[in-house]
Chain A
Amino acid sequence: MAYREKTAWLTLVCMIVAYVIYFSLVLSGQVGPRLLDIVWTFGIVASIQAIVVIVGHVVLAVSSDADERARPDERDRAIARRGGSASYYVLLVGTIIVGVVMPFSDPAPKIVNSALLAIVLAETLRHVLIVTSYRRGWHG
């Protein structure tokens, strides 16, 4: 498995685990309605996720050949572009819903969490496309 595919898997799995936990807490009512409650809980989850991802990247880098860690080539860049362009549309739709529609109908905590969900969905899609492009091939 390519080094960049491994790092994409690591980031994807950590993101899914972290935000399934976060949104489970939100949906079960364990996160208070104040902005500080949301930021505090999200901050803890995001920090733990970042630490695990950083440590995982270091472990993968140490255990990989120098050749594998070489600068991204045209295939890596094409795959990254594919993920980025697809996730852009998810983020765009999320931004319209959260920033244009929801302010007229929903309370602030729901808007904040919806914005976070849009970001998480966009990033998840990006990494899913990166992983599948490495796995199944991509002729972009």
Chain B
Amino acid sequence: MAKPLPGRVVNQIRLLRFMANEMTQAELGERIGMTRQTVAAIEAGKYSPTLEAAFRIAQVFGKPLDEVFQWEG
């Protein structure tokens, strides 16, 4: 199997929360069925959410997925 290309998932959740009237991590977590700590870990790039959770997050902000998460190679 070929070695995967290096890179990581980055996200704009902090900015999008700010633009959504300073939505708290706890509020976002509640809306997507996650704990505040997990939202904080996603924001800090310490956890990559499942595709389903990523779509839920994008849905909360009313944005397409690629405006919330990007691949930084």
Q: Which residues of A pack against B, CB within 8 Å?
A: 2-3, 67-68, 70, 73-76, 78, 136-139
- B37 CB–A CB distance under 8 Å: yes
| Contact assessment for A75 and B36 in the assembled complex, using a CB-CB cutoff below 8 Å | no
Chosen A-B contacts, 24 in total, with CB atoms closer than 8 Å, are A3-B37, A67-B29, A67-B36, A68-B35, A68-B36, A68-B37, A70-B35, A73-B33, A74-B38, A74-B49, A74-B53, A75-B34, A75-B47, A75-B49, A78-B47, A136-B46, A137-B44, A137-B45, A137-B46, A137-B47, A138-B46, A138-B47, A139-B47, A139-B48
Distance between Cα atoms of A96 and B46 in the complex (Å): 36
Which of A73, A136, A138, A139 is within 8 Å of B35, CB to CB? Answer: A73
Chain B residues in 8 Å Cβ range of A73: 33-35, 38
Q: Report the count of interface residues on B (CB-CB < 8 A).
A: 17
Instruction: Summarize A's interface: helix, strand, loop or mixed.
Output: loop
Whose C-beta in chain A lies nearest to the C-beta of B38? Answer: A75
Chain A residues in 8 Å Cβ range of B46: 136-138
Chain B residues in 8 Å Cβ range of A138: 46-47
- B41 CB–A CB distance under 8 Å: yes
| Contact assessment for A67 and B47 in the assembled complex, using a CB-CB cutoff below 8 Å | no
Most buried by A among B41, B47, B49, B50: B47
Chain B residues in 8 Å Cβ range of A137: 41, 44-47
- B26 CB–A CB distance under 8 Å: yes
Chain B residues in 8 Å Cβ range of A136: 46
Distance between Cα atoms of A74 and B26 in the complex (Å): 16
B72 to A: closest C-beta gap in Å: 14
